[in-house]
Structure 1
Amino acid sequence: MASPPNLYDAEPIPDSAREEIEALLSSGDLFRYRADADSPAAALERAFAAHMGVPFALAVSSCSSALFLALKALGLEPGDKVAIPAFTFAAVPSAVVHAGCRPLLVEVGANYRIDLADFEACLEEDVKAVLISHMRGHTSDMDAILALCEARGIPVVEDAAHSLGTLWNGRKIGTLGRIGCFSFQSFKMMNAGEGGMLITQDPDIIARAVIMSGAYEHNWLKHAIVHERCRFWQNRLPLYNMRMNNLSAAVARSQIEELARRVRDGRANHDYVARLLNASPWLAVPDPLPQEERAPDSIQFNLEGFDGDAEAVAFQQAANARGVPVQIFGMSEDNARAFWNWQFIGEQRDLPKTRAMLMRACDVRLPARLTQDELDSVATALIEAAAAVKDARRNAAGPYSASA
């Protein structure tokens, strides 16, 4: 088998960004409000809003910042309950806690999507907002979720950190709820190292978010949007200083023109590897929902017929030994995606469906830049690792070995 590919490096920053980056380095003009209204951060906001087809966008320091500001901009009160999927990254319940609210975890099934029956039951517990994580780019049934929330007057925030470029019934993920939040961390479709974006069509929400992001005094005038609403909220809201700097903005904006290619290649790569893995009796990639057109930067699959945790660990070790790092969400110590590690949110009810899924759900990076030979190498390593573990079990050949 060929040498395993590098699954971690991001794509190079486009050459189109280099002139602007050099100018910023020469001037030292990295703070978005030092310049006039046409700073690189403001230019990124305009370009991203146009790409998403929404009137308002706010560049911030991370997707976590965007989620926090989204909840604050909704005007939630201290102690309000916010429903979130139990399968998400720790930053999501953290944003709820930072906003002074209480996370309410909702069951997630073996296909990584919200259990709708449990979701509907949770909405009866005086939930004031719903924060939907499209975790690892998997879209829950947004038609059902939005209908249930609309009937109860509950606002929906979309955590689209992994879903830039995903479509639901032809509409862009992040534009379905009241607010959409995106990540520009290095493993995402747009890479600024860190950074995020908040989008909305609501002028009061964007005005509140702009002020709270750190547009002190009259710096909100440099956003060129909803000045009357910003003037209204001036000095009425606290400042949290979650701004994006100009250097990160210049790095990110250059990649908007790359998105269509990255989405196309990422989907093709994912679907190619998924077909290969699904041919194994031991590995299963859940199908997308019919309304969903994904933009994956990784692949998730379930271990099938693995009777105990020892076999799951043996598979992880065997795949790693073959050069393909595998994360089993529930089997990695202190994993930030395993809800039982979120001790900061307080006691929660048992979530047996989510727990069972996390104990057998595997995660592998699958960047859009990979070639077919590299994809074959990844799939072969995973299939061989599963077969080796199951063959060892059948043959009763003793302890499982990473080199099996």
Structure 2
Amino acid sequence: MAADGPISPPNVYDAEPIPEAARDEIDRLLTSGDLFRYTAPEGAPVALLEAEFADLLGSRYALAVASCSAALFLSLKALDLPRGARVAIPAFTFAAVPSAIVHADCVPVLIEVGSNYRVDIADLKAKIAEGLDAMLISHMRGHTSDMDAIMELAEAAAIPVIEDAAHSLGTTWAGRNIGTIGKVGCFSFQSYKLINAGEGGILVTDDPEVAARAIIMSGAYEQNWKKHPGLQNSFGHWQNKLPLYNTRMQNLSAAVIRPQIPELARRVADGRANHDYVAGLLNASPWLDVPPPLPQEVRAPDSIQFNLVGFDTDAEALAFQDACKRRGVGVQVFGLSEGNARAYWNWQFLGDLPDLPQTRAMLMRACDMRLPARLTKPDLDFIAQAIFAAAAETKG
């Protein structure tokens, strides 16, 4: 491993600067006061973002909203699922995902996840046999589960699939954009994503009825749905028949997002190169394992996850975490971080939680670290050396 690197630990938390074009558009909006997406008769920044994002993904419809959580919630409501519907989710996801299901008056059904962070297909089959109404597949931290197997099972059981692609903008599966394989795909523009608006989300679909219902429920009241292209017959049918949740995106957020879309391909390429470089260095340690991508998967990572190998006790894993911190590198063991929102046993709002030994074992030794696309090779060397050395120190 390279010996030289930055004098101080790299900052892995700051995002890339917002392009100058966003500042010009924000100044225009502030001068006009035109912040509500439906004020202008046409051409509002949010409407332009929806058209550009749908074109980017190759989808028929896109709806920009306040967050990815809002997109997931609206997707569930737009599927017109019955109250109490059973919705399968990976047991390795963020707490906002089961929360969206609860808000939609449905019941989360947790599916085991393997040591490679992906859905256990055998457990998914078992849960389908017990009865499911939908699947919400989180590509957690950008790790794509076997979408061929998932879609085959879903189609055989006539179960709709929502993709939580919050971490997967730019990822492809067998040449198809993640988020366009299921009936609905949901994306995030939160600060730690490849496109950063602080907050914000968007959903895509090819289904006109799902799109129309989601648009109206997002807050397209009275005749505002006329400012969305197409779908006029569907809008006319659903107007005043659906509750309004008012989860709209406003124009300032769209103004921040739109100039970043042309930057996406570079960020994806740089992030993948950074991830794969660090993964190669970490995998040289007998104590560290970065699971490889699946053959059909071309990822767009902005973080790295790896498993601790041969760490028999929680004390050893915590000692490793502390050793990384002393070296200036913040590594988090998912299951050993107090209150971690990605550890399913902390989702106490679900009530009685199932026993998921496979997922629990993974979370107790799986490590997480930000690895933004803007990092340089010396930054990456510093990080890899610190983690490598921390593992060697802990294991003696």
Selected match of 2:42 from 5, 12, 37:
37
Q: Secondary structure at the match of 2:336?
A: coil
> How high is the TM-score relative to the length of structure 1?
0.96
Q: CA deviation at 1:152?
A: 0.6
Q: How does 1:105-184 map to 2 (within 5 A)?
A: 105-184=110-189
Note the alpha carbon deviations across 1:48-94, whole angstroms, 9 max, x for none: 00000111000000000000000000001111100000000000000
Q: Give the total of aligned pairs.
A: 391
User: 2:259 aligns to what?
Assistant: 254
Partner of 1:76: 81
In 2, the alpha carbon distance for the partners of 1:227 and 1:247 equals 27
| Higher alpha-carbon deviation: 185-194 or 1-10 | 1-10
Q: Distance in 1 between matches of 2:185 and 2:386?
A: 37
1:100-143 CA deviation, whole Å, 9 max, x = no partner?
Answer: 00000000000000111001000112200000000000001000
Moved more, 23-32 or 136-145: 23-32
Aligned to 1:280: 285
Distance 2:351 2:114 in 1: 23
Q: Report how far residue 37 of structure 1 moved.
A: 2.1
Write the distance in 2 (CA, Å) between the matches of 1:262 and 1:355: 32
Q: Does 1:309 align with 2:314?
A: yes
- Of 349, 374, 377, 1:372 maps to 377
Which of the numbers 334, 344, 349 marks the counterpart of 2:349?
A: 344
Out of 198, 215, 226, the residue aligned to residue 221 of structure 1 is 226
Can you give the 5+ residue segments of structure 1 that lack an aligned partner in the other structure?
A: 392-404
Report the residue type matching 2:274 in the other structure: N
Partner of 2:394: 389
The answer to whether 1:187 aligns with 2:192 is yes
Letter in 2 for 1:354: T
Of the three residues 204, 207, 213, the one matched with 1:202 is 207
Partner of 1:400: none
C-alpha contact 1:266 1:296 (8 A) present in aligned 2? yes
Counterpart-to-counterpart distance in 1, 2:57 and 2:244:
27
Distance 2:324 2:215 in 1: 46
| Counterpart position of 1:289 | 294
* Cα deviation, residue 348, structure 1: 2.6
Matched position secondary structure for 2:18: coil
Q: Identity rate of aligned residues, in percent?
A: 69
Residue 396 of structure 1 is matched in structure 2 by none
Shift of 1:270: 0.2
For 2:356 and 2:186, the matched residues in 1 are separated by 26
SS in 1 for 2:360: helix
Q: Could you list the structure 1 runs, at least 4 aligned residues long, displaced by more than 2 angstroms after superposition.
A: none
| 1:298-322 Cα shifts (integer Å, max 9, x gaps) | 0000001111000100111111111
Structure 2 residue 54 is the aligned partner of structure 1 residue 49: yes
Q: CA RMSD in A?
A: 0.7
Higher mean alpha-carbon deviation, 13-22 vs 56-65, is at 13-22
Is 2:75 the partner of 1:63?
no
Other structure's SS at 2:130 match: coil
**Can you give the 5+ residue segments of structure 2 that lack an aligned partner in the other structure?**
none
**Offset at residue 36 of structure 1 (A):** 1.6
SS of the equivalent of 2:306 reads: strand
- In the alignment, the residues of structure 1 paired with residue 215 and residue 36 of structure 2 have an alpha-carbon distance, to the nearest angstrom, of 15
Contact 1:203 1:229 in 2 (8 A): yes
- How far off its partner does 1:225 sit? 2.6
Which residue identity lines up with residue 95 of structure 1 in the other structure? Answer: A
Look up the SS of the partner of 1:33 in the other structure.
coil
